[in-house]
Amino acid sequence: MTVEIRPDDINEGIRGLFLVRCRNQRDGEDGTMPSIEKRQEMGQVSTQGKNAMTRRTFMKSAGASAAAFNILPSHVLGFSGQVAPNSKLTIALIGCGTQGLREMAGLLSTPEVQVVAVCDPNQDSDNYVDWSRDGLRKSIANVIGKPSWRSGQAIPGGRDVGAEMTDLYYANKRAADNFKACAKYADYRELLDKEKGLDAVKIMTPDHLHATIAIAAMKAGKRVLMHKPLANRVIEARQVIETARQTGVATHFIPSSSGGDVSISAQLIRGGAIGKLLEIHNWSNRPVWPQYATLPTDTPPVPKDFDWNLWLGPSLDRPYHPNYTHAVFRGWYEFGGGAVADMGHYSLWRVFAEFGLDAPVLVESTPSHVCTLRDQVSVKIHNDYSFPAASTIRFKFAAKGERPAMDLYWYDGGMRPRTPEELERENAELPAEGMMLVGEKGKILAGFLGNNPRLLSGEKPSEMPAPTPVNLDWVKAFQGGEATSGSFLLAGPISEAFNLGAISLRLGGKRLLWDAANRKITNLPRAEKFLTRKYRKGWEI
């Protein structure tokens, strides 16, 4: 059954005739949208007032009750790529590993969103890697309201799990909506080709696939929500940003939702609390996954129902090995971005924004190394394929405005900066993770994300600033609203910094002088090959 709706029956500004199909699903209820990222609330999306009245007028003119019809998603409306405020935002999850499934609860419980498809080269298995043996299974069981779901199974993952989770959640929480079963795909290209009504995708794959999938999705007119990093190559990150600029689709970089308290330190510094900012130090307890010192030499069989070629994507062919996949992918230069890409995006995104950091002009690093015995002789393992177990990276930024040139230091693997004198006098130590901002006249010590900052001098400001509000509401942005503070267009400097850091580590700690305007490593031409990757035939970007 189809119903013809005339322009007079619809909001002013929506022009032309269009068809609305009878569907057995209702509009989502108003309310606070649950956050996808920890520690953040994304606000509310209201359908009250003018929009609500328009819906009632619309239903009346259609000669149908509100229970029988729903205004269709944006692909039916087809106006400037925007989603009507009272329609569902249809989204597909690409990447059904542990983190993708863990964050699925946020998507499913968002009333303005409907998950219509999932995609992963793995169909269904319990051989994933996680931070607890049964935590993910229990979390999924709780979300779908079935405590005994897959009881006794190890760590689950794959597209079947994502689809099952979606269908069971909707059946339990939105039974009256009678949603169509979640579609499943192994290949994101097939998903983009067949899901014509799709509004957006959320990309939760290993790092080496981020740019390839994001660019394809944006060119297909889909809005993109993506985890870190934007890409694990400098040139790929630039291509993602340029595609976002050319297509004009809404985008949101998930880690931008963290680190809001950095703005408190920035306000204190602008008020003269520690003088001019000279250095920022940020240290993490990562990696908390194996970073293998050697390449695997055995060739185990590819697991059943796992498409290894699709998982490799743009990367050159190599034999399958479990040491490359699931949570351990991030330890390899080919597939991941190391600890700095894994956690630095959370802690330092707001640092780049608050202090106006452009791409660094210099990057150098100090990686740890591993030795082995060969014929009873100790030798250092030459390793340009996996990130070190521990490292420090120095990023130097040029002066800008009233801010002088400054250094940003990253530490991982248990490394920390030198204990400041202020803490030595207190017989105190730096925490296992944290952030320290060093100025001409003092220091600010904070948590890893910049949270709970305090002056190490012991002075207390007459009035502690409040965090600066930022727009993180990607749902509204994807419905045609204002771009979020995590737009891909803002991700250039941090993406280049972290990917240049990876190149320095890969070369054993070499200093790199970076000319961002000309995309050149000016002092070490042999390093430039790592700005991009060698692509498998047919996977070039």
Give the integer Cα–Cα distance in Å for 450 and 322.
35
Amino acid, res. 470: V
| Cβ atoms < 10 Å from Cβ of 515 | 12
- Residue 505's nearest CA partner among 409, 401, 369, 405 is 369
Q: Are 453 and 438 in contact (CB under 8 A)?
A: no
H or E segment and range at residue 275: none
CB environment 234-269: b (16+ within 10 A), e (fewer): bbbbbbbbebbeebebbbbbbbbbbbbbbbbbbbbb
Q: b/e map of 101-124 (b: 16 or more CB within 10 Å)? A: bbbbbbbbbbbbbbbbbbbbbbbb
pLDDT for the residue 44: 31
Element holding 339 (H helix, E strand): helix 338-354
Q: Would you state the pLDDT for residue 458?
A: 87
Which of the 8 DSSP states describes residue 140? H
Q: How many CA atoms lie within 13 A of 25 on its CB side?
A: 23
What are the backbone angles phi and psi of residue 446, rounded to the nearest 5°?
A: -145, 175
Q: How far apart (Å, rounded) are the C-alpha atoms in residues 75 and 21?
A: 13
One-letter identity of residue 198 = L
Sorted by where each starts, the structural domains of the chain and their CATH numbers stand as: 1-26+53-71 (no CATH), 262-303+340-467+490-531 (3.30.360)
What is the reported pLDDT for 419? 97
Model pLDDT, residue 474: 98
Q: What's phi and psi for 249, nearest 5 deg? A: -75, 155
pLDDT of residue 176: 77
> pLDDT per residue over 155-191, tens digit each?
999 999 999 999 999 999 887 777 789 999 999 999 9
Q: Which value, to the nearest 10 degrees, does the dihedral of the CA atoms of residues 84, 87, 93, 94 take?
A: -40
Q: What is the pLDDT of residue 86?
A: 53
Q: In angstroms, rounded to a whole number, what is the distance separating the alpha carbons of residues 273 and 394?
A: 24
Query: Is the distance from CB of 277 to CB of 437 less than 8 angstroms?
Result: yes
CB atoms under 10 Å from CB of 5, counted, come to: 17
Contacts of 290 (CB under 8 A, 6+ apart): 323, 328, 331
Question: Do you know the residue count of the chain?
Answer: 541
pLDDT at 180: 87
Handedness of CA 400, 401, 407, 410 (dihedral sign): negative
Q: Cα–Cα distances in Å, from 225 out to 10, 85, 93, 156, 256?
A: 30, 19, 9, 23, 11
Residues whose CB is less than 8 angstroms from the CB of residue 77 and which lie 6 or more positions away in sequence, other chains included:
14, 18, 83, 84, 87
| Residue range 98-151, pLDDT digits in tens | 999 999 999 999 999 999 999 999 999 999 999 999 999 999 999 999 999 999
CA–chain centroid gap for 258, Å, is: 11
Q: State the angle between helix axes of 234-247 and 210-219 in degrees (0 to 180), rounded to the nearest 10.
A: 10
The reported pLDDT for the residue numbered 177 is 78
pLDDT at 81: 46
CA-based angle 267:270:274, to the nearest 5? 100
Could you say which residues of the chain have pLDDT below 70?
1-86
Name the 3-class secondary structure at 194: helix
Report the pLDDT value the prediction gives residue 69, as an integer from 0 to 100. 28
SS3 state of residue 351:
helix
CB 96 within 8 A of CB 122: yes
> β-strand 251-253 against 223-226: which pairing, if any?
parallel
Three-state DSSP at 253 gives strand
Burial track 390-402 (b if 16+ CB lie within 10 A, e otherwise)? bbbbbbbbeeeee
Residue type, 454: R
Residue 55 exposed, middle or buried by CB count within 10 Å (0-12, 13-18, 19+): buried
Residue (of 93, 117, 118, 86) closest to 36 by Cα position? 93
pLDDT (0 to 100) of residue 214:
98
